[in-house]
Amino acid sequence: MALKYKRILLKISGEALGGEKGMGFDEPTMDAICGGVKKAHELGVQIGIVVGGGNFWRGAKASVRGMDRATADYVGMLATVMNALALQSALERAGVPCVVQSAIEMKNVAESFIRLKARTYLDNNKIVIFAAGTGNPFFSTDTTAALRASEINAEVVMKATSVDGVYDADPK
């Protein structure tokens, strides 16, 4: 079968990992997501994943409650690392080879983000999960998805998220 896209960037929001509650990890939901990723991987699609952290923490919300915004954002980026490790573990259990690269150096738990290395993994059909967002406060993991997609030459960004609807035309 001819593939429509050879290389994709999948953005998974943190909330999506939390299932119905949208908080913490929901194992059946994670397994369902991994099942979908595994199917695409088996077709030969090269997959980069950016995972959010909203199931644990959002910097903007914490800063409203008085925390310094940059610090709050760093906590949010660390939340994405927890999600990345849990997702990696679920994918490996499903038999899908997968590495985590972090934008914040954390050498005991994940590789650091190195663009050319990520591309080599993808060329070799390993999934790469990009953790810790862009590594910079005041950004979101949606920005990260666009950035990493450009860096790995993904043909498309696919966003799996939990929102009430999507505009298909200008609402105004």
Smaller CB distance to ligand UDP: residue 81 or 91? 81
CB of 70 to ligand UDP, least distance (A): 8
The DSSP secondary-structure symbol of 67 reads S
Q: How far is CA 145 from the centre of its chain?
A: 8
Query: In this chain, which stretch among 31-39, 71-79, 87-95, 123-131 interacts with ligand UDP, using CB under 6 A?
Result: 71-79
- Contact between 73 and ligand UDP by CB under 6 A: the answer reads yes
Instruction: Give whichever of 3 and 64 is closer to ligand UDP, judged by the CB atom.
Output: 64
- The label of the residue with tokens 């999600």 reads 83
Q: No. of H helices and E strands in the chain? A: 6, 6
- Answer yes or no: are the C-beta atoms of 128 and 46 closer than 8 Å: no
The contacts of residue 172 (CB under 8 Å, 6+ apart) are none
Q: Does 18 bind ligand UDP (CB under 6 A)?
A: no
Instruction: Identify the DSSP state of 109.
Output: T
- Does 137 interact with ligand UDP (rule: CB under 6 A)? yes
**For binding to ligand UDP (CB under 6 A), which residues are involved?**
13-15, 52-54, 58-60, 73, 76-77, 79-80, 133-134, 136-137, 139-144
